[in-house]
Structure 1
Amino acid sequence: MHRRQHQGEEVPGRMHPTGLEAGTQVEDWRLLGRHEAGSFGVVYLAVRVGAEAAGPCALKLARARGDARLSREVGLLGRVRHPNVPRLQGHGEWYGFPYVVTEWVEGVSLSRWTRLCNPSGRQVTRLLAKLAGALAAVHAVGGAHRDIKSENVLVRLEDGEPMLTDFGAGTWEGAAPLTVNGPPGTPLYYSPERLRAHLNLLPPGAPSGAGPADDVYGLGVTAFRLLTDTYPFTELEEEQRTQERLRGRLPRAPHEVNPGVPVELSAWVMRLLAARPEERPSMWQVAEALSKAQENTPEQPLFAWETDPERLGPGRRLASRMEYELLLVRARAEENQARVAAEIERAQAEREAPPPSEPESLSPPHPKERKARSRRARAQQSWLAAVGLVVLALGVWWSSEVPSPAPADDKRDAGTVGLGDTPLPAPSRAVSSESERSGMGLDMPMKPLPGQRGPPCRKPAVEIYGGCWVAIEEQSPPCSDDAYAWKNRCYWPIRGPQKPATSDLPESPGER
């Protein structure tokens, strides 16, 4: 671990953890782009310098110097070995900001995965059995996660495996106290005993309830939300809902809220939500029982809203929204793959390039140098392809008249950031650090670009020189290198309506 190389030094210029450019080196790791940001940390796609071919990893950098949460994450991840928990690959401090490096998970959050593929009861039973096994491994080493929720579970796109992430609120026997503002975790997922501690309703010195039994209850709330698309007691007003939880009352069973939920699975979820900690099963019991039950669980989808035309509304609005999200999931995954491939090419070309001669020769380049230049050109093309794919996704969205995004989850169900979640509300741009620094932009062409959509242009796009363009609200000239300047605004072109294939992702309703 690199502890003190930069400790106490000022962060130079634009080197704050929240806005590091692609190419920045954090100790032994090179950042390839910012992935997502939360209240306490920022996650970057990264590779290890000198071992780029080993593949990508997730580097989470704390927003505040000396933040103890990342130390907790390192301490707990270093103790747990389980296929559904990301592997710890490194950690340290950079200019006083703690960081942790873990296995990269190319996936989406559990709640988003449910919306995208409308899983069957058997799929969910299998997924919950895997999560229970991961939590059992955490509890076996005397640890507790203490922030089990849908947003801290990622479903890997490659194989549908759930991955338990974000151990920053975790603890283990003998761990130093976590001195941060407010208790760790998310109140919507608190067990009754932990809710009482959160509201200062326990006598002095009483246990806070933030242990393995609280994790079990948190998994129960997570499963309830997965199966019903809502939280327990949401039919009640907030104050009444809190009182019901404090009294240890049980909510309506999942199969009563959603008839598509298998009764046996619903019964296990209710056991997880038992009022008294000693009445809840252990995670090993849950993992074994659900592993056996999955073979006899029906394969019918949990929800009817994807296949019931009466509930889709005019114009199949829900189907359009899903197609848009699927498109962005693919675009973001391919963008990340292109970034990693480009970095591998760049690093290999750099290692193979001969040292520059003095003075520089005017003779033709050495064969190795020609090969290195060719690799650098291919790497640059990979970046440009990623940019074009994301711009295409944006154009398809506008041209398809996709409805406004669904309401965001309750703000109380937030505050931490996962290590590989694929954010969907807006596509990101793959821009090299050099283009971000130059900020020169491109001149508006006098005729449409190849493949650009022409009039009539649908709002918010506008017609300029025979092509459809959309203004970038947050930019004004000088524009970034992939944008076009015109009349003191920066614009992106709207491409044609073609869409990339989504064969390896969940089918949308219109494709079934």
Structure 2
Amino acid sequence: MTTDAFHPDHLQPGSMVGPWRILESLGSGNFGHAFKAERDGDFFTLKMAVRPAPGLGGETQELLQEARQVDGRMRHEAATLMANASHPGIPHLRAVDRWPHVSKGYLYIVTDFVPGEPFHVWRKRTHPSAAQLVDIFIEVVRVVAQLHRHGVLIRDLKSEHIIIHPTDHKPVLVDLGSAWLPGGSLLTEGLAPGTPHALPPECVAFVREGRWQQGARFKASETGDLYQLGVFMYEALTLCWPFDPGMPTEELLVAIETVLPRAPHRLNPEAPESLSLIVMKLLEKRPEDRYLDASALSQALWEAAKERSKKSWKVPLELPPEGPAPMTQDEVEERRLQKQEAERRAREVPPSKAEALSREQALEQLSYLTREIEAQVISAEEKEARGKKRKRRAVLVAGACLLGLTLFATGWWWFTPHPSAVLIEKGSAFVSTLHNSRPGRAVLVWLCATLSFGCPAAPVRPLPGDCPQEVVQGMRELGLLQKVYAVVVDINQPGNNLQEGVYHAGKIVSRVVRFGWTGPLPEGTLLYGQLWTEGLTKEWKEAVLGRYTEALLPDGRRIPVCMILGDATGLTIKKKGSKPGEARLQRRMEALPVEMWP
């Protein structure tokens, strides 16, 4: 079958990209769209750049730069795969080409298709034991060690990028678009887009200190990959993260730099302490306090795996029904001593100019990085939505926070330097001192990060507000306002337009269906947006909120928009049969342009 599609987002099953026949979409990210493809009876993964390619017309300097960024990432991912083609834990590269035009089209790469599912999906479905997990840890570390020996740094290692084979359960590392490799393009230097709650502390500190503004480049290292391995293993052992992705950005960054997360075996008593200690060493704040390299980590895992014959290593590694184990007095004392040791080591490092920067400046400096990965946070939050268990956990967390604040009020000297006590004795208000001093702020973050266990809360709906004026003006000039549009809510949802679909929180792509009564957006226009499915009500019933911020027209033009799914409230009541994290809606609905987000 041939196709007249000219943009990657318009490719459908049966479309041909050179000799490769598209079978289905495997998902999209910030830089590419992946498809399952077929050729001569064999299956492959085809990943294509999603931004406009040079020479397709209508370019601005910004679009050309954006296209070069995407192309550069795709090229050096191909180079990384080619340099490590002999390793079984990495997909084999088969082709690099452009489509639909050989020189001006969208760059794509083709690798062998990796059957299976992402680790976090496999973990949730199979309920593995510690013995099974340590085998996967060892294999993943072996792949990382191989890459490091070739000078490649992954820089964005996470469970979503680890595919577990359905038969032998061997892990395969995919999506190396953010990797650094010797001799690669300048796009591989500096800070890599990644997942905020998995950023190594040294990466956060570099941005906060503002050295990049003076032309300094963040020098990635093997120890950064080791830290992200620690985040991955922490998630595997506890079904939580070291730091809750749902925390406000400022608190999240302070926590990554200053807070020691609870050890996995403290959160989940079923987790072997030997594996827990390995994870905690990987999560050390200072790179030099982690393992020397991936080979040393591999040896530590082999030593820990000698305990695998124990009965405790062979049971499914699940959290108790009531959620993470509460903190004991012994653990409180242990953490106090650990924090004292961390502060002692920190005092050995000369202070930098970073402390002169305000938190507002630091956040502004980080914004360019977090914009790339903001959508992934919401996806990560949704991943661990757990219905009734989450509600029970919320009660436990609330009680723990009250207990923690009480302990803080009576024994705050455990965490805070004595000068703060002098301020209080002189009559300064306790709350004022706490909120306006960096040590005090860090203490609050320490308590909240510690007692929230790093398990995400339900996604919070965005606040109402004005749509950007330039976007409103653009919609007005195109005649889009005060119109109604019919849309297929999810272009990847199977079924006909009269059926219901099941939807999850996170990014969504809808398609405009043209009728005589609809507005001027042409048939086939794609709307890119976000769904929020939890914690919302309309008319006392559970509801869904949908927003769209970009439209891709069939002629290839992208325009910013402010549109909502459903009626003027932006809320749509869930259909009967909806479950936590799975909202049922009509497959075809209406969308409205707005000048203000409801």
- 1:73-122 Cα deviation digits (max 9, x unpaired): 10111111321111112112223211111121122211111211111111
- 1:407-445 Cα deviation digits (max 9, x unpaired): 669xxxxxxxxxxxxxxx9xxxxxxxxxxxxxxxxxxxx
- Matching residue within 259, 264, 287 for 1:254: 264
Query: Does 2:116 match 1:107?
Result: yes
Identity of aligned residues (%): 30
**Deviation of the 1:15 alpha carbon:** 2.5
The SS at the match of 2:270 is coil
- Matching residue within 68, 89, 94 for 1:89: 94
Change (3 A) 1:23 1:137: same
Amino acid at match of 1:266: S
Change (3 A) 1:201 1:460: same
Change (3 A) 1:74 1:33: same
d(CA) in 1 for partners of 2:6, 2:160? 28
d(CA) in 2 for partners of 1:219, 1:62? 27
Partner of 1:73: 77
Equivalenced residue count is 326
Partner of 1:354: none
Change (3 A) 1:236 1:38: closer
The SS at the match of 2:87 is coil
d(CA) in 2 for partners of 1:33, 1:269? 37
Cα RMSD (Å) of the superposition? 3.9
- 1:139-196 Cα deviation digits (max 9, x unpaired): 0101111111121111122221111110001111221211899742222211111112
d(CA) in 1 for partners of 2:315, 2:288? 34
**Deviation of the 1:200 alpha carbon:** 4.7
Partner of 2:302: 291
Change (3 A) 1:14 1:227: same
Partner of 1:35: 26
- 1:254-308 Cα deviation digits (max 9, x unpaired): 1111111100000111111122222221111222332343342311111145799
d(CA) in 1 for partners of 2:121, 2:190? 29
- Per the normalisation by structure 2, the TM-score is 0.48
Query: Does 2:181 match 1:166?
Result: no
Partner of 1:133: 142
- Matching residue within 195, 209, 212 for 2:222: 212
Trace 1:300-311 onto structure 2 (pairs within 5 A): 300-304=315-319
Query: Does 2:54 match 1:56?
Result: no
**Deviation of the 1:205 alpha carbon:** 5.5
- 1:59-84 Cα deviation digits (max 9, x unpaired): 00110224211112101111113211
d(CA) in 1 for partners of 2:228, 2:25? 29
- 1:431-466 Cα deviation digits (max 9, x unpaired): xxxxxxxxxxxxxxxxxxxxxxxxxxx9659xxxxx
- Matching residue within 246, 250, 255 for 1:244: 255
Query: Does 2:26 match 1:17?
Result: no
d(CA) in 2 for partners of 1:230, 1:189? 12
Contact 1:31 1:47 in 2 (8 A): yes
Contact 1:43 1:58 in 2 (8 A): yes
Give ranges in structure 2 of 5+ residues lacking alignment. Answer: 54-67, 324-385, 392-493, 508-532, 534-573, 578-584, 591-598
d(CA) in 1 for partners of 2:248, 2:388? 31
Amino acid at match of 1:15: F
Partner of 1:45: 36
d(CA) in 2 for partners of 1:179, 1:214? 15
Amino acid at match of 1:302: L
d(CA) in 1 for partners of 2:233, 2:319? 18
Contact 1:118 1:306 in 2 (8 A): no
Amino acid at match of 1:299: K
**Deviation of the 1:471 alpha carbon:** 5.6
d(CA) in 2 for partners of 1:183, 1:397? 36
d(CA) in 1 for partners of 2:209, 2:160? 26
Partner of 2:57: none
Partner of 1:278: 288
Q: Which has the higher contact order (CA 8 A, sep 6+)?
A: 1
Contact 1:192 1:245 in 2 (8 A): yes
d(CA) in 1 for partners of 2:298, 2:188? 33
The SS at the match of 1:163 is strand
Partner of 2:194: 185
The SS at the match of 1:160 is coil
Contact 1:122 1:295 in 2 (8 A): no
Partner of 2:582: none
Trace 1:147-166 onto structure 2 (pairs within 5 A): 147-166=156-175
d(CA) in 2 for partners of 1:161, 1:187? 27
Partner of 2:235: 225
d(CA) in 2 for partners of 1:164, 1:17? 24
Contact 2:37 2:46 in 1 (8 A): yes
Change (3 A) 1:306 1:19: farther
d(CA) in 2 for partners of 1:177, 1:107? 33
Contact 1:144 1:211 in 2 (8 A): yes
Partner of 1:342: none
**Deviation of the 1:242 alpha carbon:** 2.0
d(CA) in 2 for partners of 1:313, 1:183? 34
Please list every run of at least 4 consecutive aligned residues from structure 1 whose deviation after the TM superposition is greater than 6 angstroms: 179-182, 312-315, 395-398
Give ranges in structure 1 of 5+ residues lacking alignment. Answer: 1-11, 318-389, 399-403, 410-424, 426-457, 462-469, 476-512
The SS at the match of 2:13 is coil
The SS at the match of 1:171 is coil
d(CA) in 2 for partners of 1:205, 1:239? 24
